[in-house]
A and B are shown apart, each in its own frame.
Chain A
Amino acid sequence: MERAEIESKLTDLLVDELGLERDKIAMDATFEEDLEVDSLGVVELLMALEDNFGVKIPDEEAEQIQTVGQAVDLVEQKLDS
């Protein structure tokens, strides 16, 4: 899967699942500060990523995710491996 495709799917999930405004979503935006997603919201997003991309994200790796771009990186890395 192309990186651009992952980015656009992730953006859709952020809009649909977490109710974020599409134009606020940038790759360097942090979930908790810039996007005001609470920590449980980040967990919910990662669950949605697992479901949508068919990948498994271990708790230890999930904890490291702070920005939208990092979430894309992680999905890309999981899809490659």
Chain B
Amino acid sequence: MIRPVLVTGGSRGIGRAIAVELAASGHPVAVNFASSAAAAADVVDTITAAGGEARAYQADVSDQDAVAGLFESAAADLGPVQVLVNNAGITRDDLLLRMGPEKWDAVINTNLRSVYLCTKAALRGMLRAKWGRIISVSSVSGISGNAGQANYAASKAGVIGFTKSVAREVGSRGITANVVAPGFIETDMTAALGNEAADAVVERITLGRLGSPQEVASAVGYLASEQASYITGQTIVVDGGLAL
């Protein structure tokens, strides 16, 4: 089955790998980006060169009107979204005692409000189709907590509770909602950690290395597939055994 896909924050890192993975499975992919237009165009080129179908859409997914426009455009070009991947995310790390409300709000809006807005927008089409896959990218930070990431961890734990509730609301209509929670993955986000911090992290990872965006994308690809039809409300942790 061909299922139109929308990946938020699909221009870089894990989102990029997810967009490429789902396009390789034969689905048309809407690649959403906030500001990295060149990177998004590159994802579209990569997918198209491999024989797939993709288009890039700029939208701030924490903005209600922008989200409405995004889903309208994607539906007009590729068909109503049947697989939603809530991936857009930012960090504004700081110790709680130094964390101003702007850092809190920015992270909650981009990482959690966006999941609420996009999932709500996607559900209409999914209810009509009586089929849908909602996959949200959380983080081990949202499960174990992480010093300096109270805002990020709260947003990512929020995604898990949100997903379980939505799974219960729409399960009877053939729609599943699941979470993929990556650990330390080689992306621009973790590159900001610096070598020393990265080495310290690797020591705590059971598999002894950072993960690749592709390894997260594979889990998302599985949850998006027909094979995952009896899995809902779950969190698949892709962290090399960090949080055991």
* Pairwise interchain contact B124-A40, C-beta atoms closer than 8 A: no
* Pairwise interchain contact A40-B128, C-beta atoms closer than 8 A: no
Chain A proximity of B68: nearest CB distance (Å): 12
* Pairwise interchain contact A47-B172, C-beta atoms closer than 8 A: no
Q: How far is the CA of A38 from the CA of B168 in the complex (A)?
A: 13
12 interchain pairs, CB-CB under 8 A = A38-B172, A40-B127, A40-B169, A40-B170, A40-B172, A40-B173, A43-B127, A44-B127, A44-B173, A47-B124, A47-B127, A47-B128
> Which chain B residues in 202-244 approach chain A with CB under 8 Å?
none
A residues in contact (CB < 8 Å) with B: 38, 40, 43-44, 47
Which A residue sits closest to B120, measured CB to CB?
A59
Chain A proximity of B85: nearest CB distance (Å): 23
Which A residue sits closest to B124, measured CB to CB?
A47
Set of chain A residues within 8 Å of B124, measured between Cβ atoms: 47
Which B residue sits closest to A50, measured CB to CB?
B124
Set of chain A residues within 8 Å of B127, measured between Cβ atoms: 40, 43-44, 47
Set of chain B residues within 8 Å of A43, measured between Cβ atoms: 127
B residues in contact (CB < 8 Å) with A: 124, 127-128, 169-170, 172-173
Q: How far is the CA of A40 from the CA of B128 in the complex (A)?
A: 12
Q: How far is the CA of A44 from the CA of B170 in the complex (A)?
A: 11
Chain B proximity of A61: nearest CB distance (Å): 17
Q: How far is the CA of A43 from the CA of B169 in the complex (A)?
A: 12
Which B residue sits closest to A51, measured CB to CB?
B128
Chain B proximity of A18: nearest CB distance (Å): 12
Set of chain B residues within 8 Å of A44, measured between Cβ atoms: 127, 173
Chain A proximity of B18: nearest CB distance (Å): 28
Please provide the 9 A-B residue pairs with the shortest distance between their CB atoms, ordered closest to farther: A44-B127, A47-B124, A40-B169, A47-B127, A40-B170, A40-B173, A40-B172, A47-B128, A38-B172
Q: How far is the CA of A38 from the CA of B127 in the complex (A)?
A: 14
Q: How far is the CA of A44 from the CA of B169 in the complex (A)?
A: 13
Q: How far is the CA of A47 from the CA of B226 in the complex (A)?
A: 26
Set of chain A residues within 8 Å of B173, measured between Cβ atoms: 40, 44
Q: How far is the CA of A38 from the CA of B124 in the complex (A)?
A: 16
Q: How far is the CA of A43 from the CA of B175 in the complex (A)?
A: 15
Set of chain B residues within 8 Å of A47, measured between Cβ atoms: 124, 127-128
Q: How far is the CA of A40 from the CA of B172 in the complex (A)?
A: 9
Set of chain B residues within 8 Å of A38, measured between Cβ atoms: 172
Set of chain A residues within 8 Å of B169, measured between Cβ atoms: 40
Set of chain A residues within 8 Å of B128, measured between Cβ atoms: 47
Please name 9 further chain A to chain B contacts, defined as beta carbons within 8 Å, in addition to the given A40-B169, A40-B170, A40-B173, sorted by A numbering: A38-B172, A40-B127, A40-B172, A43-B127, A44-B127, A44-B173, A47-B124, A47-B127, A47-B128
Q: How far is the CA of A20 from the CA of B172 in the complex (A)?
A: 17
Set of chain B residues within 8 Å of A40, measured between Cβ atoms: 127, 169-170, 172-173
Chain A proximity of B233: nearest CB distance (Å): 16
Q: How far is the CA of A72 from the CA of B124 in the complex (A)?
A: 21
Chain B proximity of A60: nearest CB distance (Å): 15
